Structure 1
Amino acid sequence: MGVAIRFLDDGISTEGTMGKMVVTILSAVAQAERQRILERTNEDRLEAKAKGVKFGRKPRVDKDRVRALHSQGVGATEIARRLKIGRSTIYKILASDQTQ
């Protein structure tokens, strides 16, 4: 036992063999359209990147200030409070300095 949809105004139904065919065709068209949108979006993104457009949000953390405060002996919690950023961000900046 399944579910069938009837569009009374348009005279379209998903019942029977013809109804299943209509659903299959509509889903194939929707899938093709989705693929086309993805391709266009990706092409435009690559074109923008080639022109030098930067994606993502702008960094708002002054890494040099974090390093300076840390070298003055200020703890990560206090640096985070002063700069209004997460403490984990402080740890990531300091850890990246150690791996370089």
Structure 2
Amino acid sequence: MRNFGYARVSTSQQSLDLQIQALKAEGVKPNRIFSDKATGSKADREGLNLLRLKVEEGDVILVKKLDRLGRDTADMIQLIKEFDDMGVSVKFLDDGISTEGTMGKMVVTILAAVAQAERQRILERTNEGRIEARAKGIRFGRKPSVDRSQVIKLKRSGVQASEIAKQLGIARSTVYAICKQEVDV
């Protein structure tokens, strides 16, 4: 029996350090820890795919928390079934549960459904916040870096689009887009 570890964070700005420390504290060798900096809603992740190739019958995969393996219930069930078919069990450190045995599989399935529901609630709250912000006139996205009035002023004074782009350090297509919007308004 060999112990393997899996750690995941959702974005490249987040740190895997705490998860990796927890896995090492459980005796997982550093060369047997696989990780991803990717969303858990997709099962096709590089680190997870490598882990799938390395594990063999009798091995145990340690994961700090259930939602680190995945957030989508169907994907979680499929992953657990895939590992179970290989004779590999998954143990979740913080939750204190394992896929060994029928009860363990059932508990993991229920917790995976809860994790997915929580993800849906987060998305709903985020979308509600965006809608409310838009209603208050808050604009999203990058702030315009081009002085539109200057482009229009130069164009009205007869300066060609290429020259405007050169003077303002912007693309000619940007000049055309601003002029087109001015005409459409």
Deviation at 1:34, TM superposition (A): 0.9
User: How far apart, in 1, do the equivalents of 2:147 and 2:98 lie?
Assistant: 61
In the alignment, which residue of structure 2 is the partner of 1:22? 107
Amino acid at match of 2:131: L
Cα 1:50–1:99, aligned 2, differ >3 Å: closer, same or farther? closer
Q: Which runs of 5+ in 2 are unaligned?
A: 1-84
Structure 1 residue 33: Cα displacement? 0.7
- Which residue is 1:4 aligned to? 89
Letter matched to residue 64 of structure 1: S
Matched, 1:47 2:132: yes
- AA aligned to 2:143 is K
Code of the residue aligned with 1:20 in structure 2: it is: K
1:63 paired residue number? 148
| SS of the residue 1:6 aligns to | strand
**1:97: Cα distance to partner?**
4.2
Code of the aligned partner of 2:159? V
**1:33 matched residue in structure 2:** 118
Mapped partners of 1:10, 1:27: distance in 2: 12
Report the CA distance shift for 1:39/1:75 in structure 2 as closer, same or farther (over 3 A).
same
Larger deviation: 30-39 or 16-25?
16-25
Structure 2 match to 1:85: 170
- Residue range with higher mean Cα deviation, 10-19 or 76-85: 10-19
- Matched residue, 2:11: none
Between 1 and 2, higher relative CO (CA 8 Å, sep ≥ 6) is seen in 2
Greater helix proportion: 1
Q: Does the aligned pair in 1 maintain the 2:97–2:108 contact within 8 Å?
A: no
Once the two structures are TM-superposed, the CA of residue 60 in structure 1 deviates from its matched residue by 2.6
- Distance across 1 between alignment mates of 2:175 and 2:181: 10
Q: CA RMSD in A?
A: 2.8
The CA distance in 2 between the partners of 1:92 and 1:86, in whole Å, is 10
Q: Which runs of 5+ in 1 are unaligned?
A: none
Q: Percent identity?
A: 65
